[in-house]
Amino acid sequence: MPLPSLVIFDCDGVLVDSEILSADVLISELAALNIRIDRAHVRANYVGRSFPTVARLISEAFATPLPADFEMRYRNALLARFETDLSATRGVDAMLASLTLPKAVATSSSPPRVARSLAITGLARHFGADVFTASQVPRGKPFPDIFLAVAERFQTPPAECLVIEDSLPGIEAGLAAGMTVLAYVGGSHMRGQVFAPPPGVRTFDNWEDFPQFLANWKSLKDPQ
């Protein structure tokens, strides 16, 4: 198999450089409730997870039920921030324009958030309707449900799929689905961070290098 049959991209932190924006909005909204966290806490505990899971983890960690309208207020504030500050990750638009393989998005974000993220950054044209969210499956990442659902939709065996992720929950989900996983570490939230993916998962931080990984697809399945 010279190339994967399907490439599945996470959205936040992979296609769009949104994780720092998301963290800062969450920090601000929680501060209004006297819950104090920082970017490091967000990165360690919440990146790559769906918002319902994040809300549950926050409530459990701080023994504080979140207001019923918290998710709505957070999402509205975040989308407003996206309108002014969101950008695609550097080089991803050109890479997608040259990618001839079947491709899809599989994200923990809500449908409105991923739709607006891809529209703002101009990346929506690369995927059309092939955008899948955790709301469509029983369990979010780190469970493999969303990746398996995408593979089934494309009628592609998981072993022929390549997943691009930036978070440990996402990487774990891709591996649990029986897929090959690459870790993209070029997002601004990864700068200055030590990222240790599971054994056998390669990392890269420049989309110009992505074609080389595709050309060496078979070697990605081998341990480092």
Residue 196, both tokens: 């240790």
Average pLDDT over residues 118-136: 96
Residue 21 confidence class, pLDDT cut points 50, 70, 90 = very high
Assess whether pLDDT exceeds 60 at residue 1: no
**Which letter does DSSP use for residue 207 in this model?**
G
Q: Tell me: the pLDDT tens digits for 100-111?
A: 999 999 999 889
Assess whether pLDDT exceeds 90 at residue 127: yes
**Domains (range + CATH), the chain:** 6-17+86-220 (3.40.50.1000), 19-85 (1.10.150.240)
User: How many Cα atoms occupy the beta-carbon half-sphere of 81 within 13 Å?
Assistant: 19
* Nearest Cα to Cα of residue 133 among 116, 152, 147, 119: 147
**CB neighbourhood size of 145 (10 A):** 18
Q: Tell me: the pLDDT tens digits for 57-73?
A: 999 999 989 999 999 99
User: What's the pTM?
Assistant: 0.89
Assess whether pLDDT exceeds 60 at residue 222: no
What's the confidence (pLDDT) of residue 223? 47
What's the confidence (pLDDT) of residue 224? 45
Residue 221 confidence class, pLDDT cut points 50, 70, 90 = low
